[in-house]
Amino acid sequence: MSAPAIRVSGQAEIGGAPLFGPLDLTLEPGGWTCLLGPSGVGKSTILRLIAGLDTGATFTGQITANGGPLAPSQLAYMAQDDLLLPWRSVLGNVMLGAELRGQKAERARAEKLLSDVGLTAHSDKRPAALSGGQRQRVALARTLMEDRPVVLLDEPFSALDARTRADMQDLAFGLLAGRSVLLVTHDPAEAARLGHRIFVLESHGLAQMPTPPGAPLRAVDDPALLTAQAQLLQHLRRKA
Ligand SMILES: Nc1ncnc2c1ncn2[C@@H]1O[C@H](COP(=O)(O)OP(=O)(O)OP(=O)(O)O)[C@@H](O)[C@H]1O
């Protein structure tokens, strides 16, 4: 699977007021690009624009994959809300994408993913019977099930306890190897651990931040990661 180079160049406004940009964001082809920034600055809007979904913003610019159009079939998108269908079982939600496309869902693969996210015992339950963190893991499994070259993740680990968060980062990083991943996160440690490229979105543009030396997935106790994490937090606090 060859992952395209995704580029977003342009600016957005809401109700006539600038939201972000002008900016020029190129995702790491086949790697993880992490996007941080203050609440409301437009991070989710960028994800939704790339996904071709409605936003409240008017975007002027271009979004390209290897210089051409990005087809919806190239991407998987995990929204901030889990968007689980309440009347389907957990397993049924993980298999939803294939069924919506009229394809036969790979049940064994869905069951393996549910095992990977630690939810085998919950596979027959309805989403309402799960905790917020469990629901988020179902949504992650559903996204990983899609097997697409471009993956957009909007705060996918935000509801997880620290240990599960590290485990799910490991899992997602392994299963998404070779994909172009755009991760929106509020967690500097997460960005420093996972990012091939790290950006902070600010109202006037985009700041590229240094990544720690060494390839992701970085060890959580790597001193260089801890330094990068602290620098990122300082940058975010200065901007606030
Ligand atoms: N459908 C919509 N209609 C109108 N305005 C919207 C809509 N969706 C988002 N906005 C506004 O657009 C701005 C950017 O929202 P967005 O969700 O992209 O921010 P964000 O950086 O992802 O924030 P957070 O970190 O809190 O998730 C916000 O001011 C928000 O109120």
Q: What is the pLDDT of residues 170-225, one digit of tens each?
A: 999 999 999 999 999 999 999 999 999 999 999 888 999 999 999 999 999 999 99
Which residues lie below 8 Å from residue 84, measured CB to CB, with a gap of 6+?
93, 127, 135, 138, 139, 142
Distance CA 58, CA 71 (A): 20
Q: For position 21, what pLDDT does the model report?
A: 85
- Render pLDDT for 43-79 as a digit per residue (tens, 0 to 9): 999 999 999 999 999 999 999 999 999 998 999 999 9
Ligand 1, atom 30: closest residue by C-alpha: 40
With a 6 A CB cut-off, is 48 part of the ligand 1 pocket?
no
Rg of the Cα atoms in the chain? 18
Can you tell me the mean pLDDT for 106-122? 97
Mean pLDDT throughout 117-139? 98
Q: Residue with the nearest Cα to atom 7 of ligand 1? A: 56
Residue 42 has pLDDT above 80, yes or no: yes
Q: For a substitution probing ligand 1, which of 55, 80, 183 has the most ligand atoms within 8 Å of its CB?
A: 55
Is residue 5 within a helix (H) or strand (E), and if so which, with residue range? Answer: none
Longest dimension (CA), the chain: 51
Token pair listed for 8: 């977003």
Position 1 scores a pLDDT of 57
**Start-to-end CA span in the chain (Å):** 40
> Mapping DSSP to helix (H, G, I), strand (E, B) and coil, where does residue 237 land?
helix
Take residue 155 and report the two structure tokens written for it. Answer: 């705060």
pLDDT at residue 204 in the model: 80
Selection from 151, 213, 161 nearest residue 183 by Cα: 151
Please indicate whether residue 41, judged by its CB atom, sits closer than 6 Å to ligand 1: yes
Interface confidence (ipTM) of the complex = 0.96
Nearest CA to ligand 1 atom 24: 39
